[in-house]
Amino acid sequence: MSVTAVIGAQWGDEGKGKLAHILSLDHDIILRYQGGSNAGHTVKAGGETFKFKLVPSGMLHAGKTCLLCDGVVVNVMTLAEEITALRERGQLKGELMISRHAHLVLPLHCMQDVYFEEAKGKRAIGTTRRGIGPAYADKYFRVGLRAGDMLKDDFAHRVKAMARRKNVLFTGYYNQPEVDPDQVWAQVAPAVEVLAPLVGDTIQLVRRAIGNGASILCEGAQGTLLDIDYGTYPFVTSSHPVSGGALLGTGISWRELSSVIGVTKAYNTRVGAGPFPTEDAGPDGERMREAGAEYGTVTGRPRRCGWLDLPLLRYAAQLSGFTELALTKTDVLDRFEELKICVAYERDGRRIEWPDLDPEVLQRSEPVYEMLPGWHSDVTAARSVDDLPTAFMDYLGFIEDYVGLPITYISVGADAGATISRA
Ligand code: IMP
């Protein structure tokens, strides 16, 4: 029995999808525990590119069980589209189950997300507009609809009742037109047909699998610094990407978690608003964006780019109890003469090593950089550590020493094959 969690150590987009895809080959069950269609995972396999927002990466492999567990919010339209598209490409190979407890994201939630963001004006968070915040808000307000409700006779009635409730908000608060509850149901009903047969008791399935010694891979979405409690609130998502979320969102207990892999890029990115001390708004950041194709998978927005922030990485490692690190997109730094790496901050004339995630305080934290030599060579063809230049290994060693963890996976390019394992 083993339970491995793959967790973002930064503000999302760390390349978790690629690692999860590779690791999924060695696991029986691949599950998601939080987030929804705000996540965008790109997997390149067998010459084909797959972009997933909701389905776990294991769906490409026959014989795998893929779960969307209790803590996930399921956009019914998006998931039905992904399943239908994978079926049409003949690539829906794994078995998919949706937890009956998982809350549903309806088009109503997406509309609410957009209205809310627009009403905030300059103070907008820059959400993915995928209805994530409104769906989790309904969950905690105890008025949400769950996947299990799709199996009940009165589901159409419940969807229409939700539309009527949202109309009060849409018209009264956001000054927007009413939606027609019958039309909302007409839009949602075909997706429900696709999804309802996939709803089940994932908790029981997970508990049985653990009892039978199965191996489980928990695929995190977003990253530690976007966690609702441990991130840069309010510039966060509405779920728990940290390892605690993998327990809360699934029915796995802490006793069973065997390894927690923290995934970090060799530099930092952020999409949407919020503090980012090491952001480089100049030519270096621009080079990272172009070399790393740093544009959002879900929204296409350009990502903000900057240097690796080690105090934040160590914070993420401690919160989730990372047992090891995966370092991704290292090839993006191939052409830099020198690499900056943030080892502390300066604030009010003092050197500080522990990050304060209050947005205003973090933004005022001036990074203290060490300069390391670049390796200025193309590492994309490297397939073992022996192929990597000394300066590259020094950069790796610097991160390992600072965080106190081994880097067991090194990604040197976009393809699944461009990964060096030291695990
Ligand atoms: P939401 O999750 O759509 O509510 O967006 C809240 C914040 O999280 C925004 O800054 C988004 O850009 C960010 N975010 C959400 N999902 C992702 C992701 O998968 N990668 C990177 N940023 C994300």
> Would you tell me how many other CB atoms lie within 10 Å of the CB of residue 140?
10
Mean pLDDT, to the nearest integer, of 312-329? 98
What CATH fold (topology level) applies to the domain 104-195? Adenylosuccinate Synthetase, subunit A; domain 2 (1.10.300)
Collect all residues with Cβ–Cβ distance below 8 Å to 20 and sequence separation of at least 6. Answer: 6, 30, 41, 56, 57, 58, 217, 219
15 CA distance to ligand 1 middle (Å): 15
pLDDT in tens, 219-268: 999 999 999 999 999 999 999 999 999 999 999 999 999 999 999 999 99
pLDDT in tens, 82-139: 999 889 888 888 899 999 999 999 999 999 999 999 999 999 999 999 999 999 999 9
Using an 8 Å Cβ cutoff, are 353 and 313 in contact?
A: no
What homologous superfamily does CATH list for 264-421? Adenylosuccinate Synthetase, subunit A, domain 3 (3.90.170.10)
Q: Where in the chain is the domain with CATH 3.90.170.10?
A: 264-421
Q: Where in the chain is the domain with CATH 3.40.440.10?
A: 2-102+196-260
Collect all residues with Cβ–Cβ distance below 8 Å to 39 and sequence separation of at least 6. Answer: 12, 52, 53, 54, 221, 222, 298
303 secondary structure, DSSP code: P
Maximum pairwise Cα distance, the chain: 65
Q: What pLDDT is stored for residue 355 in this prediction?
A: 97
At 45, the pLDDT band (50, 70, 90 cuts) reads low
Predicted TM-score of the model (pTM): 0.96
Q: Where in the chain is the domain with CATH 1.10.300.10?
A: 104-195
What is the number of the ligand 1 atom nearest to the C-alpha of 239? 2
Using an 8 Å Cβ cutoff, are 293 and 38 in contact?
A: no
Strands 2-8 and 259-265: parallel
Which residue's CA is minimally distant from atom 8 of ligand 1?
237
Which CATH code for domain 2-102+196-260?
A: 3.40.440.10
Type of residue at 247? L
Using an 8 Å Cβ cutoff, are 421 and 338 in contact?
A: no
> Would you tell me how many other CB atoms lie within 10 Å of the CB of residue 148?
18
* Distance, CA of 248 to CA of 320 (rounded, Å): 13
* Distance, CA of 226 to CA of 129 (rounded, Å): 15
Using an 8 Å Cβ cutoff, are 26 and 63 in contact?
A: no
DSSP string, 346-377: EETTEEE-SPP--HHHHHT-EEEEEEEE---S
- The least confident of 215-224, 251-260, 292-301, 364-373 is 292-301
Q: Is the CB of 12 under 6 A from ligand 1?
A: yes
Token pair recorded at residue 220:
């995190």
Q: Is 300 exposed, middle or buried (0-12, 13-18, 19+ CB in 10 A)?
A: exposed
Mutate-to-test residue for ligand 1 from 18, 37, 38, 233, highest number of ligand atoms within 8 A of CB: 38
pLDDT in tens, 169-208: 999 999 999 999 999 999 999 999 999 999 999 999 999 9
